[in-house]
Amino acid sequence: MSASKREELVQKALESFYRGGFHAVGMDRLAKETGVSKTAIYKHFRTKEDLILATLRLRDEQFRNWLQRRIEALTEEPRDRLLAIFNALGEWFNEPDFKSCMFVKASSEYLQRDHPIHAISAEHKSLLARYFEELTKQAGAPEPEELAYQLLLIKEGAIVLAHLHQPQEVTSNAKALAQVAIDAALPR
């Protein structure tokens, strides 16, 4: 399998796991949905968990790149970018294939904190927190780490609730709560 075929397999596996869950999607189903035989899959990934880790690395890269590009496209104002996080998320919540956060799902299926799948999920959230901290610093927050963490908490809650309830209402409430946190940290 060429590198491009391997990348295609990882992308298709990501979509299967995102739709169906990690434990629920077995190797037979994965082979059927990706169009790649189990033998070929195992030539590139020793275990299903190795493949899951590859899909999570890809999803991390895709999601963080998308979020950063989207926020930058929405506004150039550093303070406004903090609220743009939630505008971007609202767009994602309204996509027809939105099924919550792949990393929340992964960490809930692999509960042990020292498990590599749980650890990569936690790392994704840490990387987002660092990005949010950069944004809060650019906006002039006197305590950027604190505001970044508050925004991350609001973001994570919004993702879960958007999956369970009305995405538009969740987006509106998340933005309102984020605005309160932003105004408290960065008085005009």
Return d(Cα 156, Cα 118) in angstroms, integer: 16
- The secondary structure of 97-112 as a DSSP string is T--S-HHHHHHHHS--
Sorted by where each begins, the domain ranges of the chain are 48-185
The two three-digit tokens of residue 69, written as one number = 């590009």
* Whether the Cβ atoms of residue 118 and residue 49 lie closer than 8 Å to each other: no
- Under CATH, which architecture does the 48-185 domain have? Orthogonal Bundle (1.10)
What pTM, to 2 d.p., does this model score? 0.93
Q: Other C-beta atoms within 10 Å of 112: how many?
A: 10
Q: Which two tokens stand for residue 133?
A: 């901290």
Q: What is the pLDDT along the chain (188 residues), one digit of tens a residue?
A: 566 888 999 999 999 999 999 999 999 999 999 999 999 999 999 999 999 999 999 999 999 999 999 999 999 999 999 999 999 999 999 999 999 999 999 999 999 999 999 999 999 999 999 999 999 999 999 999 999 999 999 999 999 999 999 999 999 999 999 999 999 999 87
